[in-house]
Amino acid sequence: MYAIVLQLSPIPLTMRTIFYNIGSLQTMDDKLPISFGNAIIVKDNKIESIVESIEEYESSEANLVDVGGRAIVPGFIDAHNHLVWAGDRFNEHNLRMQGHSYVDIAGMGGGIMQTVTSTRESTDEDLLAIGKSRLMEALRNGTTFLEAKSGYGLSTEHELRLLNIVNQLKSETNLPSIHSTWMGAHAVTPNHNYESYTEEILSEQLPDVLDSGLADSADVFCEPGWFSIEQSEDILRASRQGGLDLRMHVDEFTDGGGGELAAELKVMTADHAHHTPMDTRITMMEAGVVTGFLPGTPYFNGDQWPDFKDVQAQSIPFSMATDFNPNCFTNSIPFIGSLVVQRNGISPYDALYCVTRQAARSTPRSDGLEHGVIKEGAIANFNILKSRHWESWCMTPSSSPVHSTCLEGQHIEYQ
């Protein structure tokens, strides 16, 4: 586990904080050119303005932060993260080296089931500490907002326990804020088949989750071998009826028709989607569904490397995220950026757009404030990078590119 010491500047939140002497400012606001402004004025938890000169503030009571000519980019949004689980699955790498696929390993009782067992055996205190340490690591790598899925409980009792833990993490201060997703439909335990578990979800688990008020979204692993199109549709429609936003895992290993269901249901985001055919991608786009690519997964699985050229050529909007889970062990958005910039020729700007503006579309804040952008009125979430060049955000995969972070108005420095 990582222990990262955070140092908070003791600034009362009613005061202005002015981040000045910016080397390059990449706001991701389409209306502003890259280097507009030398300073960001923050008031309370919001960006008040972006200015070229701080003269008028110099004699005020404002707290001045000299960023030393460093670059600033928006805080990253991790729009797909399986945050809370215990144990690990590094033993499975050997099976992969012997030629076994993710599907084979799951069939042998490994995969998600191995993690469900270790998670159920852990105490609430352990899971809370694990979640907190992972959030700190995500923040250290520039993530200021994160979607966190349950899905390693797989019974009403254990799924609610995980949602409760995420809820406790939500109230921690000085950590990324969280969008909480219930993913009871992630796999089945040996006492069930998919049909009987779907019935249990619909009659018992989902009603209890809705009663708890702990989930913002519902997600289903819709893939041949896991939840069928019909089962996914039943769970998602009932979840929407109960007021939840919808997300899906689709077409991760093969085109299983999940993308089409995503478009039909107009879900917020259809993730993985590496095997979704082009006509379905276009239908998804027309239905307003965000495609959420997760290149960390084929990287760790050793699966065929995705190609984003056709998707870019069709101007299909997509986000990217970590998919942090025992089989994709990274909480670093800059690492994901590095993968696609170095291996796919995606530009640092386009990759940054995926983890800020596009991620904000699929993963909005519950207070309605804009995020993933540096502009007047948006939440004051941004990263001060170690370099003066904003492109560095995705160029240092073995260490965090982030020097310090403004998190909801608080300047957080790392030791």
> Which residues contribute to the site for ligand NIG (CB under 6 A)?
82, 111-112, 115, 221, 249, 252, 297, 323, 325-328
Positions touching Fe ion (CB under 5 A) are 323
Return the number of the residue (323 or 350) whose C-beta is nearest Fe ion: 323
- Sequence-distant (6+) residues with CB within 8 A of 211 are none
Q: Which of 63, 65, 75 is nearest to 22 (CA)?
A: 65
Are the beta carbons of 322 and 80 closer than 8 angstroms? yes
Tell the smallest beta-carbon distance from residue 161 to ligand NIG (Å): 17
Are the beta carbons of 63 and 16 closer than 8 angstroms? yes
Residue 115 binds which entry of ligand NIG, Fe ion, none, CB below 5-8 Å type-dependent: ligand NIG
Return the number of the residue (159 or 252) whose C-beta is nearest ligand NIG: 252
Return the number of the residue (17 or 297) whose C-beta is nearest ligand NIG: 297
DSSP for 54-93, written as a single string: -GGGTTSSPEEEE-TT--EEEPEEE--B-----S--TTHH
Tell the smallest beta-carbon distance from residue 406 to Fe ion (Å): 29
Which H or E run includes 235? Answer: helix 229-241
Tell the smallest beta-carbon distance from residue 326 to ligand NIG (Å): 5
Are the beta carbons of 24 and 390 closer than 8 angstroms? yes
State how far the Cα of 44 lies from the Cα of 234, in Å rounded to an integer.
43
Q: Which of 136, 212, 123, 122 is nearest to 167 (CA)?
A: 212
Tell the smallest beta-carbon distance from residue 142 to ligand NIG (Å): 22
Residue 326 binds which entry of ligand NIG, Fe ion, none, CB below 5-8 Å type-dependent: ligand NIG
Tell the smallest beta-carbon distance from residue 379 to ligand NIG (Å): 27
Q: How far is CA 58 from the centre of its chain?
A: 38
DSSP state of 319: E
Q: Which of 114, 123, 103 is nearest to 154 (CA)?
A: 114
Return the number of the residue (227 or 382) whose C-beta is nearest ligand NIG: 227
Q: At what angle do helices 258-265 and 229-241 cross, to 10 degrees?
A: 20
Return the number of the residue (76 or 226) whose C-beta is nearest ligand NIG: 226
Taking every pair of Cα atoms in the chain, the longest distance, rounded to a whole number of angstroms, is 69
State how far the Cα of 282 lies from the Cα of 347, in Å rounded to an integer.
22
Residue 209 binds which entry of ligand NIG, Fe ion, none, CB below 5-8 Å type-dependent: none
Residue 150 binds which entry of Fe ion, ligand NIG, none, CB below 5-8 Å type-dependent: none
Return the number of the residue (111 or 295) whose C-beta is nearest ligand NIG: 111
Q: How far is CA 187 from the centre of its chain?
A: 21
In 98-234, beta strands by DSSP E: 143-149, 177-185, 217-222
Tell the smallest beta-carbon distance from residue 269 to Fe ion (Å): 11
Return the number of the residue (207 or 225) whose C-beta is nearest Fe ion: 225
Q: Which residue's Cβ lies closest to ligand NIG?
A: 327
Residue 70 binds which entry of ligand NIG, Fe ion, none, CB below 5-8 Å type-dependent: none
Return the number of the residue (147 or 391) whose C-beta is nearest Fe ion: 147
Residue 297 binds which entry of Fe ion, ligand NIG, none, CB below 5-8 Å type-dependent: ligand NIG
Tell the smallest beta-carbon distance from residue 38 to ligand NIG (Å): 41
Residue 111 binds which entry of ligand NIG, Fe ion, none, CB below 5-8 Å type-dependent: ligand NIG
64 HSE (CA, 13 A, CB side): 14
Residue 256 binds which entry of Fe ion, ligand NIG, none, CB below 5-8 Å type-dependent: none
Tell the smallest beta-carbon distance from residue 249 to Fe ion (Å): 5
Amino acid at 96: R
Q: Which residues of 297-309 are buried (b: 16+ CB within 10 A; e: fewer)?
A: bbbbbebeebebe
Residue 134 binds which entry of ligand NIG, Fe ion, none, CB below 5-8 Å type-dependent: none
Return the number of the residue (20 or 299) whose C-beta is nearest ligand NIG: 299
Are the beta carbons of 205 and 153 closer than 8 angstroms? no
Tell the smallest beta-carbon distance from residue 407 to ligand NIG (Å): 26
Return the number of the residue (321 or 412) whose C-beta is nearest Fe ion: 321
Tell the smallest beta-carbon distance from residue 115 to Fe ion (Å): 12
Q: Which residue's Cβ lies closest to Fe ion?
A: 323
